[in-house]
Amino acid sequence: MEKSILRAEYLKKRMDLTQDEIVAKNNAITENLKLLLAGQEIKTIHIFLPQHGKVEIDTWQIISLLQNSYPPIAIATPRIIPGTKEMEHFLLKPETNLIENRWKIPEADPETSVKIEPQIIDAVLIPLLAFDKKGFRAGYGGGYYDRFLVQCKPDVVKIGLSFFEAEDKIDGLDRFDVAMNYCVTPFGIVQF
Ligand SMILES: Nc1nc2c(c(=O)[nH]1)N(C=O)[C@@H](CNc1ccc(C(=O)N[C@@H](CCC(=O)O)C(=O)O)cc1)CN2
Ligand SMILES: Nc1ncnc2c1ncn2[C@@H]1O[C@H](COP(=O)(O)OP(=O)(O)OP(=O)(O)O)[C@@H](O)[C@H]1O
């Protein structure tokens, strides 16, 4: 199905989730991600922070788990460079000062945080609305992650997080679309 149609359909599917379903799905995604990360050698992981007021995966749960159980793993988080479709990246620590951007996505304060280069990142957790059986995704449509992922090292592990299962095929992909290596859902780990 066409990317733009899937985007609208999955925004609605998300809005229709009950609070109980959201909690259960977040817990299952965190558990499944834990299993996936246990088999990887990761020093630095890049994690998006959930948009306030929207139904997104609660990555704070994943962040707490990493900070408590795997403190040597460094966590990086993106900041949209205002007026562009580019992101820069900062270390996320318990003491990091967060500022909400115009879309109510919390971001590290660029004045007081440590900036990192995409090349040092070993794994990226990727937000998405829908994904397909080949590992392609539909996001909010900014193209932020496609621009970012090509700046990472070639063997960076690209991990999508999804509330829902795969679509057969996303149509309307373009030459910039970067496929993921895995997608973690409440139902399991999909490898591409
Ligand atoms: N938590 C989180 N952070 C993320 C993403 C994400 O999906 N989730 N993104 C993933 O790439 C990027 C932000 N993506 C965005 C893409 C488009 C618009 C946008 O065009 N907003 C419209 C309003 C859309 C609406 O409210 O439905 C606008 O400002 O006009 C905003 C953010 C980077 N950070
Ligand atoms: N590396 C790039 N250089 C130039 N344009 C790009 C690049 N990556 C993506 N684009 C363009 O950005 C637009 C949005 O891309 P796309 O529909 O793939 O967004 P998305 O993956 O849903 O969003 P996001 O990555 O922000 O979650 C498209 O027109 C796409 O061609």
Q: Is the CB of residue 145 below 6 angstroms from any atom belonging to ligand 2? A: yes
The Å distance, Cα 22 to ligand 2 centre, comes to 27
Q: Assess contact for 66 and 125: CB atoms under 8 A.
A: no
| Domain encompassing residue 180 | 3-191
**What are the tens digits of pLDDT across the range 77-93?**
999 999 999 999 999 99
- Rounded Cα distance between 126 and 145, Å, is 7
* Atom nearest to 137 CA in ligand 2: 21
Residue nearest (by alpha carbon) to ligand 1 atom 11: 144
**Structure tokens given for 160:** 């999508």
Are 164 and 183 in contact by the 8 Å Cβ rule? The answer is: no
Could you tell me if the CB of 178 is within 6 A of ligand 2? no
Query: How many Å apart are CA 178 and CA 175, to the nearest integer?
Result: 8
| CA 148 – ligand 2 centroid, Å | 10
Number of domains, the chain: 1
pLDDT of amino acid 122: 98
ipTM computed for the complex? 0.91
User: What's the pLDDT at 31?
Assistant: 97
Q: Can you tell me the mean pLDDT for 46-67? A: 97
Tell me the per-residue pLDDT of 4-26, one tens digit each, with 9 for 90 and over: 999 999 999 999 999 999 999 99
pLDDT at 141 over 90: yes
Q: What pLDDT does 39 receive?
A: 86
Instruction: Give the position, in ligand 1's atom list, of the atom nearest the Cα of 11.
Output: 27
Q: pLDDT-based confidence at 139, cuts 50/70/90? A: very high
pLDDT score of 175: 96
Eight-state DSSP code of residue 105: -
Query: For position 137, which CATH number holds?
Result: 3.40.50.10420
